[in-house]
Structure 1
Amino acid sequence: MKSAKELLNQTRLLTMLGSGGIGKSRLALQVGADMIDEFANGVFIAELAPVNDPDFILQTLMNSFGLKTKVEKLLKKY
């Protein structure tokens, strides 16, 4: 956990890779909770494991960050 926190002091994005079931998600959630006050806009975690098609990575990231595309905004407006 210490290494992850040190890395987040140097970068805005941290990727955790490893086999399923070793605690990556739990570690990410704990590090995010511990460091949330250090980031003015908050901490976001994007689960990419279920994404099988690279074309959906950007949409998954945008959803994780609470962002909407221009098309989504227009559809909601009309």
Structure 2
Amino acid sequence: GHTALMRAKLKDNSLTEQQVLYKATPNTTKGQHFGSRIAFDKNGFLYFSIGERGDRDTNPQDIKRDGGKIYRLHDDGRI
């Protein structure tokens, strides 16, 4: 599994114009700690967190791994 963040438009109870803004890598089979929070600040930046994916001693400390981090994007997905 993985954690992903996408945007879309809701039209007649269906999602249209789907766009993946972020997908955590690598996929994992551990099945734990995918957790996330999503929030916008007053300047329009989008913040979201990715859980450490069950590897708390490695993922948060390694900048090459996605897990255990907080990310900031523009509302259109730009970094």
Q: TM-score range by the shorter chain?
A: under 0.3
Normalising by structure 1, we get a TM-score of: 0.23
Q: Which has the larger radius of gyration?
A: 1
- The higher-RCO structure (CA 8 Å, 6+ apart) is 2
Higher strand residue share = 2
Higher helix residue share = 1
